Amino acid sequence: MYYLLKLSPEITIKSRSVRQHMTRCLAANVRNTLKPLEPGIGVRAGWDLLMVSVPDSAEATLIDEIEARLCRVPGAQEVQEVREVDFDDLDDIAAHVVPCWQQRIASRRFRVSAKRRGQHDFTSSDLERHLGAALLAAAPDARVDLKHPEVKVTVEVVEQRLRLIDRRLTGLGGYPLGLQGQALALISGGYDSPVAAWRMIRRGIKTHFLFFNLGGPEHERGVREVTQHLWQRYSLSHRVNFISVPFEPVVSEILRKVPDGMMGVVLKRMMARAASRIALHARIPALVTGDAIAQVSSQTLTNLALIDDASDLPILRPLLTDDKQTIINQARQIDTARFAEVMPEYCGVISRRPNTRARRDQIAEAEAEFDFAILDAVIEAAETTRTDRLGEDQHHSTGHQAGEDVPEAHAGQDVNVIDIRPPVEREVAPLALKSGQRLEIPFYELQQRAPELPDDRHYFLYCEQGVMSRMQALHLHDRGLTHFGVYHASARR
């Protein structure tokens, strides 16, 4: 048993030397992808296809996994399951072909296309006519249509062997991975950035991953999972890096120093600066983001240009003109949507009145007071993990109270509720408590101030949706501060 991998049309239109180089690269990628499954799998490159041979002893579960991996290798347009049989004459060929195609051509227009290699006493046209007549006899309600067939019956004869294609599976297409250089994709775990990274992988770009951590270990755990999924499914042939940058101090500085309307653009500019420096250090020539025009306030053309100004490298945006539903549909297609659906939106700089058309002088003024030593420090603190070790290095939260609401038994004087919202939000919607004491510590100061609070009482964190509270509580639990929980809005009723 073996499979034929048909090359992507984008490979077949290249010059002879480029095509041969791409085919050799694709063959190497297929070997790297399948080798961990079964050492006995053979891969041989031809002019317009690859042949992948599977040991006859392979079990059904192994075959299923081989097929799944072959369909996800960039550069292969179609995966054909093939078997070969001996034949004596045209009637013998027809006896093998007709049962395979009889049901498929019923009540439909079809055409027979034959390829032949070797010395035979018949031509390819003879073979096509003979098989066409045999198929019409087996399926009288079908008819031949040479110009516009609904079904194309393909037959290949190699010497004295008939090659039968039992199944055709859709491949990923695109270019072999690694041929088009490298890029560093900014990934957050939502719908957009994994799809953007996947599109770059499909175009043959060896894509590394950069994560700006705004939500502590819990946030990183979720993003590691979607990154590992992308790597295992679509770029298993190459080892790439996952880089995590602890960006909470930058968020805190933005909230202290930057005017409300400019915070979103300044945050993206800080990310672009950091990503550019990290990529240059790793000799990666381009950045990739999941930006789409006008999806959020920082993604207007004006603001995207300001973000680009902060980077020394080109920023590629493969989703730029897509609408949200198109992106979500593709996330479902590549199976990353399930991660986005359970990933909280970690964003600490949501402006109440964002500026959608910021000017350069406004940005310069907004960043004038920013302490860039903080940006230097978080870049220095970045951690790199190779993608094949993502599962091994994941951090684990401790305790369970971080996920709990405030218990009724604690609704007394020994309980403090910490309102972690920014001052502006607190002024608009003050928090009223029936009992207990209220503290006001913005979330961007909480991690620094929490160890100073007495540890003989319980603290419950409050924000409007509960997402930031849960994230901060989990972050504190990971640091051993297990006397913090979450106070939800429902507890006020």
List the one residue out of 280, 246, 253, 178 whose CA is nearest residue 444: 253
Q: Which residues are 157's β-sheet partners?
A: 116, 162
Please indicate if the annotation marks 374 as binding a ligand.
no
Please indicate if the annotation marks 434 as binding a ligand.
no
Residue carrying the six token digits 């960006």: 247
Please indicate if the annotation marks 284 as binding a ligand.
no
**Within 74-166, where are the H helices?**
90-105, 124-138
Please indicate if the annotation marks 187 as binding a ligand.
yes
Q: Cα(167)–Cα(164) distance, rounded to whole angstroms?
A: 9
Query: What is the DSSP code (8-state) at residue 1?
Result: -
Q: Are 319 and 195 in contact (CB under 8 A)?
A: yes
Please indicate if the annotation marks 228 as binding a ligand.
no
Amino acid at 133: A
- Catalytic residue from among 25, 71, 100, 463: 463
Q: Cα(237)–Cα(112) distance, rounded to whole angstroms?
A: 37
Phi-psi region at 288: left, alpha or beta (left = phi > 0; alpha = psi -120 to 50)? beta
CA angle 380, 384, 385 (to 5 degrees): 165
Note if 347 is an active site residue: no
**Within 290-415, where are the H helices?**
301-309, 324-333, 337-342, 360-367, 372-380
Binding residues: 186-187, 268, 290, 299
Name the residues annotated as catalytic.
463
Binding residues for ATP: 186-187, 268, 290, 299
